[in-house]
Amino acid sequence: MNRVIYLGGGCFWCIESVYKKIKGVISITPGYMGGDIVNPTYEEVCEGYTNHVEVVKIEFDNRITLIQILSIFFTVHDPTSINKQGGDVGTQYRSAIFCDNDIRKVIIDFIKNIEFNKIYTDKIVTEVNEKTDFYKAEIYHHDYYTKNPKNAYCQAVINPKLNKLRSVFSDLISE
- Among 140, 143, 110, 135, CA closest to 16: 143
Do residues 145 and 17 touch, judged by C-beta distance below 8 A? yes
Do residues 1 and 76 touch, judged by C-beta distance below 8 A? no
- Among 158, 167, 165, CA closest to 25: 165
Identify the active-site residue in 11, 14, 99, 154: 11
> Which H/E stretch holds residue 28?
strand 25-33
Catalytic (active site) residue 99: no
How far apart, in whole angstroms, are the C-alpha atoms of residue 104 and residue 124? 16
* Residue 105 CB-half CA count within 13 A: 1
List residues with catalytic annotation.
11
